[in-house]
Amino acid sequence: MSVHVEYEKRGAVALVRLDRPAARNALTPRMLCELADAFVDVARDDAIRVAVLAATGDAAFCAGGDLGTTLPLLTGARQPENPYDRRLLEDPTVMAASSLRGFPLHKPVVAAINGACLAAGMELMLGTDIRLAAEHATFGLPEVRRGLIPFAGSMARLPRQIPQAVAMHMLLTGEPLTATQALQWGLINRIVPLADLPDAAMEVAEGVARNGPLAVQAVKRTVIEASGVPLELAYRLEDHAREWVLASEDAREGPRAFMEKRSPVYTGR
């Protein structure tokens, strides 16, 4: 049974919640293992169409990797002491799935950022697709201030998601952005009052879940695979997605339901 990562399913929506508010939801080796297990299950469960990533409390979404357990383990300053420590070091799926980096999750993830989103917490957020944040949320990558680097996707992903000069300022100075600045630069989609954040994130997720699941997954997969590649290759990826989706039963059901003035019943086939 997980202690600090909650995982539940609400119909077609999976809810993954970091639950260690007293430590600003900093990620321990056990939390990373259980976070990875949750996202692996999201990927495998055909009944799940979208996930919401959230956190408990009002101070922090995630302050990063735990400086007393995770970082010393990864730098070699301490030896593995339990099965979670050993799994983090030995199982590459843990780092990939827990950071949504190099892990083939084609189902969308909606992030609900309830406070400080820093270091590994921000790197995890960069792997999500739609982001809502509370008014007091902050976003930062302070690793260089501690002689470290962000190694879970930020150096590759951040300059692709916001202007490079803004990304470099964050990466090189360690200075955070406010929620207003993050919205200005397109890092997040919307600022929401803290009290409304859980419902707003679920509303977005449920809206995505009502859409054709094959179409939604094809869109996410194609956008990711086409990022940074030559335009002609991107067009071929788009063509492949079109052929795959148009051959599905869902592609026939959607227009038929529209003409019949009823809600579509998608089966993911």
C-alpha 181/C-alpha 179 separation (Å) is 5
Residue in the block written with tokens 């008014």: 135
C-alpha 210/C-alpha 13 separation (Å) is 10
Q: Is 123 a catalytic residue?
A: yes
C-alpha 50/C-alpha 54 separation (Å) is 13
Nearest alpha-carbon partner for 33 in 57, 66, 11: 66
Cα 209 to Cα 35, 43, 217, 267, 268: the distances in Å are 21, 14, 11, 12, 11
- The two tokens of residue 255 are 């227009």
Q: Among the options 6, 143, 175, 253, which is catalytic? A: 143
Q: Is 90 a catalytic residue?
A: no
Q: Distance between the two ends of the chain, CA-based, in angstroms? A: 34
Q: Among the options 81, 123, 249, 253, which is catalytic? A: 123
What is the identity of the amino acid at 15? L
Task: Name 201's Cβ contacts closer than 8 Å, sequence gap at least 6.
Answer: 52, 54, 110, 111, 112, 132
241 neighbors 222 (Cβ within 8 angstroms)? yes
Residues pairing with 139 in the sheet: 117, 177
Instruction: Report, as residue numbers or ranges, the catalytic residues.
Output: 123, 143
